[in-house]
């Protein structure tokens, strides 16, 4: 397997009903995760991009959260409709999307 140029971690953490912390699952992360996988296939980027579902990365209130390495760029409040832009601008052209960047308060 070739080493991926970009590794995308998508938080898919859930928590029990009534838990005091929110979770990315409560905020729709599974739809986002599925869209990342769907677009990976459609764009045939298997040799360039790796997608990994992960547990909590910290800033739960800002979810769904997506972290891209090697840059260490974290995106907040990612929706299904944002995934195509992340592919086109960041994963394929190397330019992170400013409008979705996590604030330094949570990731900086
Ligand atoms: S539950 Fe996703 S960052 Fe905490």
Contact 70, 47 (CB under 8 A): no
Q: How far apart are CA 98 and CA 38, in angstroms?
A: 23
Which stretch of DSSP H or E encloses residue 33?
helix 29-43
User: What is the distance in A from the centroid of ligand 1 to the CA of 79?
Assistant: 15
User: What is the distance in A from the centroid of ligand 1 to the CA of 26?
Assistant: 10
pLDDT of residue 7: 98
pLDDT of residue 2: 82
User: What is the distance in A from the centroid of ligand 1 to the CA of 2?
Assistant: 29
* Extended strands (E) in the chain: 6-11, 49-54, 66-69, 73-75
Give percent above pLDDT 90 in the chain.
Answer: 94
Over residues 35-71, the pLDDT tens digits come to 999 999 999 999 999 999 999 999 999 999 999 999 9
Our answer on whether the CB atom of 58 is closer than 6 Å to any ligand 1 atom is yes
pLDDT of residue 1: 78
Mean pLDDT of the chain: 97
- Of 2 and 90, more confident: 90
């Amino acid at each position: 397997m070739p080493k991926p140029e970009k590794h995308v971690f998508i938080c898919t953490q859930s928590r029990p009903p009534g838990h005091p912390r929110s979770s990315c699952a409560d905020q729709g992360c599974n739809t986002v995760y599925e869209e990342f996988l769907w677009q990976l296939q459609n764009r045939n980027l298997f040799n360039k991009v790796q997608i990994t579902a992960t547990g909590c990365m910290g800033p739960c209130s800002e979810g769904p959260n997506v972290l891209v390495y090697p840059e260490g760029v974290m995106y907040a409040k990612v929706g299904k409709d944002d995934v195509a832009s992340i592919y086109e601008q960041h994963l394929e052209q190397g330019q992170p999307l400013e409008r979705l960047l996590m604030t330094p308060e949570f990731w900086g």
